[in-house]
Amino acid sequence: VSLEDDIEAFGQIGRDGEGVTRLAWTAEIEAARAWLLQRLADLGLRASVDEAGNVLGRWESGRGTAILVGSHIDTVPHGGRFDGALGVLSALEAIRQLKQNGIRPSRPIWIAGFNDEEGALLRTSMLGSRAFVGGLDLADLREHGVAVAMAAAGFDLERLPEAKRIDQVGAYLELHIEQGHTLDERGIDIGVVTSIAGLVGLRARFTGETNHAGTTPMRSRRDALVGAARVVLALRNDARRRSDSTANVGSISAEPGAANAVPGRTVIEIDLRSSSRDHFVRLEPRARLLIAEIAAEERLDVDIELVQSKPPVELDPTLQSLIASAAEAEHASSIDIASGAGHDAMLIAPHVPAGMIFVPSRRGISHSPDEFTSPEHCLLGARVLARTLTALVTN
Ligand SMILES: [Zn+2]
């Protein structure tokens, strides 16, 4: 068995012609769990599924808290074969290498295949790792139809709190594809992740006045779409001034939605990110001020709703240097890099030291069937992971 074989085999699960679709609480993710349980058992690990649908494999050795290694097994609709999967499959490869090297870990090693990181089915992103650290809001999940989907898959929403096992973990390692183009463009093998960007999600509803497109004088219009469009550009221009921040308006809807009517109502969904802790706290107030100013100039009413707020997370400096040394020992080039995308590590890092290893994504493409990391880079990443893990369990 090789890592390449595992990537090929796991990529068949949920394959749908246009990519891979494994959403939480579906038959595809159940098949992925069954496959992973078997692979863990083959490696001699104690394999089980927890109350949140996460797969856990335990190598109970030595004493103390476990080193947890893994990533997620779900995908976005029509996603690729590497996002999430590579972190779990390279953890299997790392265990294989440790066993081949005759290592007897001084403490337990656990593998995690987290469920529902993408949250693509019911917008419950990172449900699996959130349950693992005990950070779920059950009341909120009850409202969002999660119980029904879980019950259909043989799980019980009320038992989610039992999935909390972070107290038995001492550190976390996650290998992931970069999902950006920095490593690929610069020809670097390994990214040592320093932090994960914080995210503020806002929804802005603009209300002006719907009227006839041909008879309403330009000067007296209260055009909600024009106001929203100005906000889109202003947020972009503001984010362009900093290298550590991004702004995105990914959804816009205008009513009544006819070419011959002045749009009286417009809603936009805003995604603001920053890896800087100082700047993160300014994201929401800055955006609110900018939106209010433009709305006033366009004579619009505006209502701004905070949809989500996740602060940036710093990854553990000691683990960063262990990963960098492991890369050096493998004769791999490496750089420090901040992650713009969210990961399970974000949930775990506030509880225990967490480290992340990035491998290059061809042309930075992800969440797409075209997602690709070369077999050489997959294996190199797994070797860096194995070395880092070895350093943690042989002292
Ligand atoms: Zn991922």
Per the structure block, which two tokens stand in for 174? 């996650």
pLDDT of residue 281: 96
Q: Which of 197, 203, 202, 221 is nearest to 211 (CA)?
A: 221
Neighbours of 79 (CB within 10 A): 26
pLDDT of residue 395: 74
Q: How far is the CA of 83 from the centre of ligand 1 (A)?
A: 5
Q: How confident is the model at residue 34 (pLDDT cuts 50, 70, 90)?
A: very high
Q: How far is the CA of 73 from the centre of ligand 1 (A)?
A: 9
Average pLDDT, the chain: 96
Per the structure block, which two tokens stand in for 226? 């024009």
Q: How confident is the model at residue 144 (pLDDT cuts 50, 70, 90)?
A: confident
Residue 140 pLDDT greater than 90, yes or no: no
Mean pLDDT of 353-370: 96
Q: How far is the CA of 255 from the centre of ligand 1 (A)?
A: 35
Q: How far is the CA of 74 from the centre of ligand 1 (A)?
A: 8
Per-residue pLDDT tens for 367-387? 999 999 999 999 999 999 999
Per the structure block, which two tokens stand in for 345? 């590590």
Per-residue pLDDT tens for 200-209? 999 999 999 9
Per the structure block, which two tokens stand in for 325? 């040394």
Strands 245-255 and 265-274: antiparallel
pLDDT of residue 143: 84
d(CA 274, CA 384): 28
Mean pLDDT of 165-188: 97
Q: How far is the CA of 355 from the centre of ligand 1 (A)?
A: 15
CB 114 within 8 A of CB 344: yes
| Proportion of the chain above pLDDT 70, given as a percent | 100
Please give the model's pTM, rounded to 2 decimal places: 0.89
